[in-house]
């Protein structure tokens, strides 16, 4: 059985005190209200990671992710943070290839393959983000586009390493726009992704791979999205900044 996962991507939001308040609210609500086996992942900016780890270590189903890591091991890379450093403070997951990093920081599929290697070499679970821009969807080329992102950044992995990866499908036209993909559009893409994984690693691996949906997910649409056969949870941006909304999304399975 593959894992159900809801991850909250804070992006570049919250001061340290705002982050502590949000974490405390989420922790309390998760303890009181979440009875299911959902894995919750908080993805705050780097400066929050130690604090969020400290506040969540006792809660088995809450994990902490960085939003990025360096493709390099260590050395003269001013401003960068390595996967090894993240692991050393108790971070367990890392987002790799979010569309904002691809778009604004020019991250390429090849560079992302390096980041994936760094994450895995340091026992971090990569949450690999993929998704097409609007013009690609309008030309109906989204399936080739997304499967290529996956092949280029992940298909060099051994089966054993691929099994550790979580995939997040986030159509760029749905991120922060209020325009969610329909549950049918999400399911269609998730099924294509799973078939693509099966073509390389076999059905068993594909069936065990968690594939999350991201893009304007909120409490009102999460139940319909999560009910789809190949949607194993969500990567939540805007709605993860409000504890009530985020926890309601976690409870949407
Ligand atoms: P959104 O962002 O939920 O605000 O659309 C999702 C994401 O970028 O991870």
Residues of the chain with pLDDT under 70: none
- Using the mean position of ligand 1's atoms as its centre, give its distance from the Cα of residue 75 in Å: 32
Closest atom of ligand 1 relative to the 129 alpha carbon: 9
* pTM, two decimal places: 0.97
> What's the gap between Cα 160 and its chain centre?
20
User: What is the pLDDT at residue 178?
Assistant: 78
- In angstroms, what CA-CA distances link 48 with 1, 18, 52, 89, 157? 32, 10, 6, 11, 31
User: What is the pLDDT at residue 36?
Assistant: 77
In this structure, the residues whose C-beta lies within 6 A of any atom of ligand 1 are: 9, 170, 175-176, 214-217, 235-239
- Using the mean position of ligand 1's atoms as its centre, give its distance from the Cα of residue 238 in Å: 6
- In angstroms, what CA-CA distances link 157 with 12, 119, 144? 30, 12, 20
**Each residue's pLDDT tens digit, 125-169:** 999 999 999 999 999 999 999 999 999 999 999 999 999 999 999
> What's the gap between Cα 201 and its chain centre?
21
98 is an active site residue: yes
User: What is the pLDDT at residue 35?
Assistant: 83
**By C-alpha distance, which of 35, 27, 84 is closest to 251?**
35
Q: What percent of the chain has pLDDT over 70?
A: 100
**By C-alpha distance, which of 171, 177, 246 is closest to 216?**
177
Q: 């992704």: which residue's tokens?
A: 193
- Using the mean position of ligand 1's atoms as its centre, give its distance from the Cα of residue 216 in Å: 6
Kind and range of the H or E run holding 25: helix 16-33
Beta strands in 121-192 (DSSP E): 125-130, 166-169
User: What is the pLDDT at residue 179?
Assistant: 80
**Each residue's pLDDT tens digit, 207-223:** 999 999 999 999 999 99
**By C-alpha distance, which of 23, 4, 215, 41 is closest to 124?**
41
Q: What is the Cα–Cα distance from 108 to 202, expressed in whole angstroms?
A: 26
């Amino acid at each position: 059985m593959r894992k159900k996962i809801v991850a909250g991507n804070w992006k570049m939001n919250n001061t340290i005190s705002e982050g502590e308040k949000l974490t405390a609210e989420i922790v309390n609500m998760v303890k009181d209200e979440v009875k299911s086996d959902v894995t919750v992942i908080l993805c705050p900016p780097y400066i929050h990671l130690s604090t969020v780890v400290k506040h969540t270590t006792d809660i088995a189903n809450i994990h902490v992710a960085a939003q990025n890591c360096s493709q390099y091991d260590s050395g003269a890379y001013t401003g960068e943070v390595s996967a090894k450093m993240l692991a050393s403070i108790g971070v367990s997951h890392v987002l790799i290839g979010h569309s904002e990093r691809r778009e604004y920081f020019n991250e390429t599929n090849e560079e992302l393959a390096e980041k994936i290697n760094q994450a895995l070499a340091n026992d971090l679970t990569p949450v690999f983000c993929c998704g097409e821009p609007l013009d690609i969807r309008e030309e109906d080329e989204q399936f080739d586009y997304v499967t290529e992102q996956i092949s280029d950044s992940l298909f060099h992995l051994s089966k054993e390493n691929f099994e550790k990866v979580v995939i997040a499908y986030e159509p760029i036209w749905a991120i922060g726009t209020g325009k969610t993909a329909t549950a049918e559009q999400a399911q269609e893409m998730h099924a294509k992704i799973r078939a693509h994984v099966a073509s390389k690693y076999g059905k068993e691996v594909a069936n065990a791979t968690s594939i999350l949906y991201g893009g304007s997910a909120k409490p009102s649409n999460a139940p319909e999205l999560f009910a789809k056969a190949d949607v194993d949870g969500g990567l939540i941006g805007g709605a993860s900044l409000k504890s009530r909304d985020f926890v309601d999304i976690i409870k949407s399975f």
